[in-house]
Structure 1
Amino acid sequence: MTEQQEASEDAVMTRIGQAVILLHAGDREEARNRLGEIWAEIAAEGDSLHRCTLAHYMADAQDDPADELAWDLRALTAADGLRPGEEPALPPGRRPGHGVGQTPGEGSGQVVGQTARPGHQQAVRVFYPSLHLSLAADYVKLRRPEAARVHLARARAATGALADDGYGNGVRAAIARLERRLAAEPGEGPRPFPEQYS
């Protein structure tokens, strides 16, 4: 990869990060607008890590649970699009509660032909527990507890990729909380999930 390509990819992540700052500051509409602009530029040919990261945050910016689910599914599809066998490297920075860990190709369906820089494959792998946790939370909001349990089980199964650090412990704790919640409501559809983990 050339220096120009690397700089371009860094610029994409910087722009995503700027939109996420707006999202965390409460400006959901502007965050959605900026993320939408970036998605329009990268969706077809973009790096899988960029697409996964952007879609995951775009899900957090949605007001409609069905839209949130659609973006979380796009994030999983982007993660699944990575080809196995690339040499892993240390992942870039992550925020607690958003992350990944099963073998590429599992989940919502592999996107054939998409590749990522080697470090990106490992970064996306570490996101899998959180990607499936987000989908489980989406299905809870949509009162689809069985689908929520499926993704919660996948999240739990993927936690082996998580380090024993603040991020990994935060994701594992969030999985345990949602497991307890679903276990406590066996006879009825779950109430809307009050908020995403931060």
Structure 2
Amino acid sequence: MEHLEQLTAAVERGRTGDRAAARHDLGSLWEESTDLQERCAIAHYLADLQDDVHAELRWDLRALECVQDDGWLPSLHLNLADDYRRLAQPGPANEHLEAARSRLSELPEGAYGEVIRAGVGHVADALKAGNVRPLESSPSS
């Protein structure tokens, strides 16, 4: 990835609370980058920084359109399932939740895999309960 250092710095800014600056920086990277895998990462992180679920969905869909590495798919489908759940669209939410579930065995052992596996459970439970509120476990919270 050509812009890895800038991408990492922007993501860190977002994680430390400067969401507006992180959105700006990632938006600039989105405009500059021509590498699909890099654009997937940028869109994936930009989605988590949105204050509106509709905007979050648009960025998550962009990430899915750019994906080149199947390793991103469990997380991308999980995020899309959560977006659709929060938009009270259970049909697409269930489709993406099932797509995420079908790839859980491909996840590595360790913290990342556990976060995604737990997230699938949290979204499934919320979807079953008809809960459309943001979940505490969501990266966009």
The CA deviation at 1:160 is 2.2
Amino acid in structure 2 at the alignment position of 1:128: L
2:39 paired residue number: 51
Q: Does 1:156 align with 2:97?
A: no
Which blocks of at least 5 consecutive residues in structure 1 are unaligned? 1-8, 83-123
**Aligned CA-pair RMSD:** 1.5
Q: Give the structure-1-normalised TM-score.
A: 0.66
SS in 1 for 2:74: helix
C-alpha distance in 1 between matches for 2:30 and 2:66: 12
1:61 paired residue number: 49
Q: Does the 8 Å CA contact 2:30/2:42 hold for their aligned counterparts?
A: yes
C-alpha distance in 1 between matches for 2:134 and 2:84: 9
Name whichever structure is richer in helix by fraction: 2
C-alpha distance in 1 between matches for 2:26 and 2:92: 27
Which blocks of at least 5 consecutive residues in structure 2 are unaligned? none
C-alpha distance in 2 between matches for 1:156 and 1:73: 18
1:169 paired residue number: 114
C-alpha distance in 1 between matches for 2:108 and 2:56: 27
Rg larger in 1 or in 2? 1
The CA deviation at 1:181 is 1.9
The CA deviation at 1:192 is 2.1
Report the count of equivalent residues: 139
C-alpha distance in 1 between matches for 2:111 and 2:132: 28
Structure 1 stretches of 4+ with a deviation exceeding 3 A read none
Q: Does the 8 Å CA contact 1:140/1:193 hold for their aligned counterparts?
A: no
Q: Does the 8 Å CA contact 2:126/2:132 hold for their aligned counterparts?
A: no
| Matches for 1:65-104 after TM superposition, within 5 Å | 65-79=53-67, 82=68
Q: Give the structure-2-normalised TM-score.
A: 0.91
Q: Does the 8 Å CA contact 2:48/2:139 hold for their aligned counterparts?
A: no
**Percent of counterpart pairs with the same letter?**
40
Amino acid in structure 2 at the alignment position of 1:52: C
